[in-house]
Structure 1
Amino acid sequence: MTTRRLRSHRSPRPLRRAPLTRLILVALAIAATAPAQAQETSESNAAKTLDNVIVTGTRRVGMSVDDSPAPVQVVTAEALEQSGAPDLMNQLAFQVPSFNASQQGTDMTSATLVANMRALSPNHTLILINGKRRHFTSNVAVTGGYAGAASTDLSFIPTSAIASAEVLTDGAAALYGSDAIAGVINLITRKNASGGSVSAGTSGYDDGGGFTTNYQGDFGIGDDTTYFNLALESERRQTINRPGAPYGAAACVADRLANPTRGCPATGTATTPSGYPSSTGNAALGRENEYNMIYNPWFPNNSHQGDAPAIQRDVGFLSAGMFLDDGTELYGTGSFGKKKTQSWQSYRRPSQDGGVDRNGDGDRTDPIGGTGPRSGRPLTEADINKYPYGFSPSIDTDEKDWEVGVGITGELAGWRYDLSTNYGKNQMEIDVTKSMNFTLWNRTGASPESFYVGRFSATQWDTALDLSRDFDWGLAAPTTIAAGLEYREDTYGIDPGDAASYTGAGSASFPGYNPAATGSWERNNKAAFVNVILNPTEHWIVDAAARYERYSDFGSKAVGKLTTRYDFNERFAVRGTYSTGFRAPTMGESYYTAIQVGPTAATATLQAANVGSGLKPETSRNFSVGLVFKPLDNLTTTLDAYQIRIDDRIRLGSTLLYSTSQSVDTLCGRTAGCVPNPNLPDPADTNRDGRPDDAYNQTLGAALVAGGFISNGSDPTAPGGSMDATARANIGLNFFTNAMDTKTTGVDWVTTYNTAFDWAAIDWTLAANYNKTEVTRVGNAPADLGGRALLTDADVATIQYNSPKYRVNLGANIRFGERLALNIRENVYGPQYTLGTTSAYAAFPQIMNTLDLTTINGVTYYKAKIGTLYTTNIELAYTLDQRLRFSIGADNLFNAYPDKTPAAIRQYNIERYATTGARDYLLGSPLGFFGTRWFAKVSYTW
């Protein structure tokens, strides 16, 4: 009987005791002296070596990472554990410089935080599990810098299930299909037939919040021919609110109470303490009930904008397999997870609900009885305001995610084959709590506090057959021929919320999905590929691939890849790749529909298919060239430069304006980032029949009708539709569109150096990424929508500059004998910025003179810049008997924070009673604005 022994993915950690203070000093000294002190590795203090055979980026069996013609970075399970990062996505981002994870979001983006590679969309990175495509989340990002993101949610994969992660930083659509434009992350799961581990950890932030507990475990059973490995993880994570992020209106109230004669004014015509004219919002201070916000428990830091969500997460992953007598393997995987999130939203003032007319005098804002806060007691406001002290709504999600897969792999007639099928589903139910419906309150004096706003769902069923065979054609090495077929079905659906969630203004902070905007959609695609890998000479390898795919809704596309590497000797090699690729629009980008309603206006996100000509796939051209240098047996450096051109990139376009009574130029003057277009049809009542009947408004009106927001595209005031009647005069619309072409260039640098000394063994790592994205073309709306640019200059700046310009990771993993280890890592995040409008500040030199200004196309902006951030990360670990391990550590040890909002702008927004714009820290940094995170872990391995 032929048997195949399984290989364990575990290795002991040799450690020895030493004082922490000494270790830190030693680590700093080593940086300068290590090259001179390097010596042969002794058996007891050997620098760790790993089996470095990879399966990602190549279909040749036995390829090592050092010999790969494509750039691949391998992250071990041990490396993933060496930080306080709460989940797999953040652990990978901690290790891979070109991979950046978001730390906070707004609205639904808080429920599914995303990461991106090379500052491209999260949708441009393909996630594989054991080489098989993983399904996507059903939650489409609509707000933030990566609108449209609906990639794989890595939080549903327990870290304890992962043996290693292979990160391919190269275009690979010809090998793996749509989405593999920026790169591929292939997660290799544990397949142990024996042994296991359990661990418990806790972490929290030095400045408060984010307290987290994490419990993990995995175990394997089996024998020489079978394996069954189950991994489990449970996490509880609290939200984070920083006191340094005050709510502008609350700070204004505090100032007025402290300085009644010169504090923030209480009328719309007075002058603020700094000489700014007060806003109409200041007039709210004339209402006694507005002062009740001082009794809110968060006062004056009422704002929750940018807070990280609270998370409850329970996930599991199963890998199983059996080897037959002829070496054939039957395998299966399964995962299941539940995740609940709670995301606090921006604070709403006491009078922001508009009140209710209780006494029939036609005034919804007059309080009935009671004594005001300036007398020391809160005013009794229940008669006119539902929340007398104001309120902060919460978006609560309840998400389930699962996937099952089975396959068979072996040899038949000299061909290696792998036949597999995988089915995955993600489903998210959404509630808004501690909220209200302003329209219902104004009309009836009653409103629910909790709303069911709807449900997302997405499925993927992928079946693939891969074949490969080596042919000896007399070349320097056997030629590998690979080919395959793939069939995939995708579905996407939105289910409606309860009526109160979408009627009128809908549930405050996140209105529900109305029935007309919901539904279910599906598509399929078929693919075939061929791959040839040959060695013309002993030192030269050539890898060529071609792929053809046909989508049921987008037609067909053929792409290719040519990769080569030449080794001049054992120490030096060059490599390069040219490839074409594509990305089909996600189902969410094609069919997502939603609306946000304000007191006098509304913004609707419409299905792309209902506006213009719909979406088409993105196409890409990738070129990379690199060097592999190994001057010493224990020192390896790779340097890879790349350029990625993407045409017809999909993004949420800037807002188009639909109005029955005002010109676009007038509306544009009130819309941040909107530049008037003289060629745009005037949507005013041009023929004075009381209806917006030009082509521009007719097109947008038809899309609003299709979305269920209004009933008559020529007369938005007509009865019917879910949009609040008070918001129909000024309606903004946006939709996903092929908005632009981009060019991304950069360099990846990875150096590893293993050294050994009498007193310790040290693994040094230097990993860096430099990245630059340029928008080379901005698309225009269809002619009947005025032909205006689909992105503003501020949008373009966000795409180009709102990711760190570079990342550098410098680490030393020091092992002192068999018990004690110290891991030190310095992570550097380069500068980034967005553009902010200055129209509100142009008349005030005391503000403008403090800003970093730039003028584009005649419009002046200020740079909201986050400078270079340096973070020191440290872990100290102690192991007993190579089984019981204790570790403590800190991420961002010296409490680095991103830059603050310009002080003059922050003060302006406070004095003018602004609801936003007064937060302390700028958003968008991969660090968030949370500071030092401490962590402690204990684990037992058998």
Structure 2
Amino acid sequence: LVNGKRRHVTSNFGVAGNGEMATDLSFIPTSAIDHVEVLTDGAAALYGSDAIAGVINIILKKNASGGELNAGYAGYADGGGGTDSWSGNIGLGGDRGFVSISAEVENRKSVYRFSNPSYANCLLDIAACQAYAEANGRDDLLSRISDDQGAILSPRFPALNGWLNPPQVHRKIASFNAGYDFEDGLQFYTFGTYGKKTAQSEENYRRPSQDGGYVNPVTGEVTHMYPYGFNPSEASEETDYDLTAGLKGFLGAWSWDASTTYGRNEMDVYTLNSMNFSLWNDFGASPTDFYDGTFYATQWTTNVNATRDFDVGLAAPLTFNAGVEYRRDEYGIEPGEPASYYGAGASSFPGYNPLGTGDYSRHSYAVFADVILNPTEKWLVDVAGRYEDYSDFGSKAVGKLTTRYDFTDTFAVRGTVSTGFRAPNMGENYYSAIQVSPTGATATLAGASVGNGLKPETSENLSLGFVFNPVPNLTMTLDAYQIKISDRTYIGSFSYSMAQSAATRTGRTTGSWNADLPDPADTDGDGVPDDAYNPILGEALVAGGFISDPNDPSAPGGSFDQTARANIDLSFFSNVLDTKTTGVDFVTNYMSEFGWGTIDWLLAANYNKTEVTRAGRAPGFESIPLFTEANISDIEHNSPKYRVNLAATFNWDKFSLALRESIYGPQYTVASLAGYEQFADQLDLVTLGGGAYYKQEIGTLALTGFDLSFRPNDAWTVSVGGDNVFNEYPDKIPSAVWNYDVANYQNGNNAYLTGSPIGYFGARYYARVSYRF
């Protein structure tokens, strides 16, 4: 929320992040923000979908005079990420109105951390690699030696691949917040933001021979477009704006508020410094830069709410708040230029084919009410409910009951029982795309096309907490909670190649697909066709235009190379998970007062545990398991079980020093032990589903930061600081596994384990100066 009003979401659909379409806070200038409020318990009962976890309410400045100017620079000690930022705010107005205007500009460079792919290690010592390849039947390495020695002349050789490198970003944004008081308590308010953001990120290296080569029809000569290989880039140009206008006032004993908010985010996507392998193979020519298409998302929300206090003879007046809301969501994907999706498409990020694009919308109505009462001076009760009706999936009702009892001035007990829901976002329902990697391709189906479509996630929340203020300047809170979420949306990925015999294959008995005559393949390279293609996935791929129907020779070809079907995956979203999370939050604050100044102390700790209580199968694909026990283990253990934040802020005279320590508990994922049995005594083993796995654990991490500020007068403030000042990095892949993979030319790009909460870039330092007037 911004000033209590729902802000629109981004159009950038996070397929890799399991479908998130979050609000992009980077389009709100930090210089415009006055403070931030957080509501957690039972927020969905008041604010509806997306508020299962709570609500963040950003309150903008309302200054009618004065302002500020800020400048800063930051970068990483190990290189990269240099960021300069500039921002300002100015307030204008008089006794009855104000306009607060803010702006911000940021230029952030990418952080490059490169590693050697296995074939680069091969080319570093060709004689040793060739001897190994001939002794072990590694034709892939022999091909690298014969066809890809041009990679040696790449300027980054041998560290050809980047890993998890954030993009370079250029951002320009502005905002305003305004209000005017009329006669008789009537107030007009309006606020909005506008911004543009460009970003570019370099992707993994493509080998010289990876384009397949163009064969000259006259001479038979084979040529490659990039003799030394290439690193393509993905780029975006994003425009975002938001406008709210409203009136509020009084009608008798009622206070009322009516407003409307419209927001839009639009992103043009490009692939740069690349090529289209299919165009090169077919015609001996290809563009290097491609327009891949455009995403857009809009939200238009209009609401009216009214509040009144009633004297019902209790310890305090009863507060009644009710309202209605209408919201319209739109989402669309516009196709890219034909060269971006022809055949295999632009390497790294194929353009959006017209078959997977379109414009979609839905609307919803909501009504809500909230009653707050005090049966006694020490007892508060808050009851709320909300009913929403969506045009695409139907209706949902949620509610909450919150209570607090103050036994004394220093001790209170509080608790909440609530339900909530999250409607499937527009991207989950309608996003459809093809993603091509150096070794295969993935088709993503729109969630609305699978089974009966997506339904909302629902939640049941219980919490019980204690508030304790034993002495002046000391506050302590302890809250325990349990959150059950049903029908969680999850993206499942399946291999079109089933890796099982036709005799044991399961599939549909109806439909045009011939389940008895699937295309054969030889995935293990023994010369025997032993791999059948899944007919259920085949039908979905045909329907989406990704492959041609093998039962109809006259059918047009699809988007995927028919000779590469063993490397095709199909992904889609479905409501297949139920989870239960239990946890505890503890927060304490204390201020120490001395003759020379003060120290503000903070300790905040959290522990939680997530369990998967149901792992289902996707509608229409019931014969295909979505989860193994290893997948479930990863969901339950791939985030830290606990986190502790410690802080102390020293304030004396014109100086302020903040010291911070963030501690993250251990986390792990599992990987199959197959191929590494000889190192079993060096690995932390676990048995799941009858299979042997080893843990890839990121241990406890502690990050130290500081901020030192000097304020010579009321106008100027100069600050320097750092995050992760001891240059901590997450744990690496177990050394026995990594060393074996490197020795056998089969290592991945990154020696560090993924999923760390601290990033992979080391210490970061910054300096900034502010002037207030």
Task: Give TM class, smaller chain.
Answer: over 0.9
Deviations 1:868-887 (A, max 9, x none): 11111011111121211111
Alpha-carbon spacing, 1:691–1:295, altered in 2? closer, same or farther (3 Å): closer
Matched, 1:742 2:742: no
Match of 2:719 among 884, 887, 892: 887
Matched, 1:434 2:273: yes
Percent of aligned pairs sharing the same letter:
53
Give the Cα–Cα distance (whole angstroms) in 1 for the partners of residues 233 and 650 of structure 2: 45
Alpha-carbon spacing, 1:592–1:737, altered in 2? closer, same or farther (3 Å): same
**Paired residue for 2:398?**
559
Alpha-carbon shift at residue 727 of structure 1 (Å): 2.9
Match of 1:834 among 669, 677, 680: 669
Alpha-carbon spacing, 1:315–1:798, altered in 2? closer, same or farther (3 Å): farther
Matched, 1:252 2:122: yes
Alpha-carbon shift at residue 922 of structure 1 (Å): 1.6
**Paired residue for 2:762?**
931
Give the Cα–Cα distance (whole angstroms) in 1 for the partners of residues 446 and 553 of structure 2: 19
Match of 1:312 among 162, 170, 193: 170
**RMSD of the TM alignment (CA)?**
2.5
**Paired residue for 1:547?**
386
Give the Cα–Cα distance (whole angstroms) in 2 for the partners of residues 179 and 701 of structure 1: 34
Which stretch shifts more, 394-403 or 277-286?
A: 277-286
**Paired residue for 1:851?**
683
Alpha-carbon shift at residue 293 of structure 1 (Å): 1.6
Give the Cα–Cα distance (whole angstroms) in 2 for the partners of residues 570 and 792 of structure 1: 52
**Paired residue for 2:526?**
none
Alpha-carbon shift at residue 359 of structure 1 (Å): 7.3
Which stretch shifts more, 750-759 or 344-353?
A: 344-353
Which one scores higher on RCO, CA 8 angstroms, separation ≥ 6? 1
**Paired residue for 1:780?**
617
Matched, 1:476 2:315: yes
Q: How does 1:719-798 map to 2 (within 5 A)?
A: 719-728=556-565, 731-782=568-619, 785-798=621-634
**Paired residue for 1:134?**
7
Give the Cα–Cα distance (whole angstroms) in 1 for the partners of residues 407 and 478 of structure 2: 16
Indicate the SS of the match to 2:161: coil
Question: What is the one-letter code of the residue matched to 2:673?
Answer: T
Alpha-carbon shift at residue 682 of structure 1 (Å): 10
Deviations 1:411-445 (A, max 9, x none): 11111111110000000000001111112222222
- Whether contact under 8 Å (1:319, 1:333) holds in the other structure is yes
Alpha-carbon shift at residue 701 of structure 1 (Å): 4.0
Which stretch shifts more, 387-396 or 196-205?
A: 387-396
Alpha-carbon spacing, 1:691–1:252, altered in 2? closer, same or farther (3 Å): closer
Match of 2:364 among 502, 525, 528: 525
Q: How does 1:249-648 map to 2 (within 5 A)?
A: 249-254=119-124, 256-257=125-126, 260=127, 263-265=128-130, 268-270=133-135, 277=136, 279-287=138-146, 289-358=147-216, 364=222, 384-597=223-436, 601-648=440-487
Alpha-carbon shift at residue 280 of structure 1 (Å): 3.6
Structure 2 unpaired stretches of 5+: 522-531
Question: What is the one-letter code of the residue matched to 2:650?
Answer: I
Alpha-carbon shift at residue 305 of structure 1 (Å): 2.2
Alpha-carbon spacing, 1:545–1:251, altered in 2? closer, same or farther (3 Å): same
- Whether contact under 8 Å (1:739, 1:779) holds in the other structure is yes
- Whether contact under 8 Å (1:617, 1:648) holds in the other structure is yes
**Paired residue for 1:40?**
none
Question: What is the one-letter code of the residue matched to 1:812?
Answer: A
- Whether contact under 8 Å (1:680, 1:788) holds in the other structure is no
Matched, 1:940 2:767: no
**Paired residue for 1:38?**
none
Alpha-carbon spacing, 1:356–1:220, altered in 2? closer, same or farther (3 Å): same
Deviations 1:2-48 (A, max 9, x none): xxxxxxxxxxxxxxxxxxxxxxxxxxxxxxxxxxxxxxxxxxxxxxx
Match of 1:185 among 38, 56, 62: 56
- Whether contact under 8 Å (1:750, 1:767) holds in the other structure is yes
Give the Cα–Cα distance (whole angstroms) in 2 for the partners of residues 666 and 350 of structure 1: 36
- Whether contact under 8 Å (1:768, 1:808) holds in the other structure is yes
- Whether contact under 8 Å (1:267, 1:284) holds in the other structure is no
**Paired residue for 1:903?**
735
Alpha-carbon shift at residue 774 of structure 1 (Å): 1.1
Q: TM-score, normalised by structure 1?
A: 0.77
Q: TM-score, normalised by structure 2?
A: 0.94
Alpha-carbon shift at residue 792 of structure 1 (Å): 3.4
Question: What is the one-letter code of the residue matched to 1:940?
Answer: Y
Indicate the SS of the match to 1:785: coil
Indicate the SS of the match to 1:897: coil
Report how many aligned residue pairs link the two structures.
761
Alpha-carbon shift at residue 251 of structure 1 (Å): 2.5
Indicate the SS of the match to 2:711: strand
Alpha-carbon shift at residue 290 of structure 1 (Å): 1.7
**Paired residue for 1:68?**
none
Structure 1 unpaired stretches of 5+: 1-127, 271-276, 365-383, 668-675
Give the Cα–Cα distance (whole angstroms) in 2 for the partners of residues 794 and 205 of structure 1: 36
Indicate the SS of the match to 1:217: strand
Deviations 1:181-210 (A, max 9, x none): 111111111111111100100000100010
Alpha-carbon spacing, 1:756–1:391, altered in 2? closer, same or farther (3 Å): same
Question: What is the one-letter code of the residue matched to 1:803?
Answer: S
Deviations 1:373-397 (A, max 9, x none): xxxxxxxxxxx22112211111001
Give the Cα–Cα distance (whole angstroms) in 1 for the partners of residues 435 and 551 of structure 2: 21
Deviations 1:169-228 (A, max 9, x none): 334111100111111111111111111100100000100010100111111111221111
**Paired residue for 2:527?**
none
- Whether contact under 8 Å (2:348, 2:437) holds in the other structure is no
Question: What is the one-letter code of the residue matched to 2:690?
Answer: G
Deviations 1:320-360 (A, max 9, x none): 00112322221001101111111111111222222222476
Give the Cα–Cα distance (whole angstroms) in 1 for the partners of residues 727 and 710 of structure 2: 25
- Whether contact under 8 Å (2:600, 2:648) holds in the other structure is yes
Alpha-carbon spacing, 1:870–1:468, altered in 2? closer, same or farther (3 Å): same
Deviations 1:127-166 (A, max 9, x none): x1111111011111111xx310111111111111111111
Question: What is the one-letter code of the residue matched to 2:199?
Answer: T
Identify, as 1 or 2, the structure richer in strand.
2
Indicate the SS of the match to 2:130: coil
Indicate the SS of the match to 2:428: helix
Give the Cα–Cα distance (whole angstroms) in 1 for the partners of residues 455 and 473 of structure 2: 48
Which stretch shifts more, 709-718 or 681-690?
A: 681-690
Alpha-carbon spacing, 1:499–1:849, altered in 2? closer, same or farther (3 Å): farther
- Whether contact under 8 Å (1:750, 1:766) holds in the other structure is yes
Alpha-carbon spacing, 1:682–1:445, altered in 2? closer, same or farther (3 Å): farther
Alpha-carbon spacing, 1:721–1:535, altered in 2? closer, same or farther (3 Å): same
Give the Cα–Cα distance (whole angstroms) in 2 for the partners of residues 474 and 725 of structure 1: 77
Match of 1:174 among 45, 48, 69: 45
Alpha-carbon spacing, 1:919–1:599, altered in 2? closer, same or farther (3 Å): closer
- Whether contact under 8 Å (2:206, 2:438) holds in the other structure is no
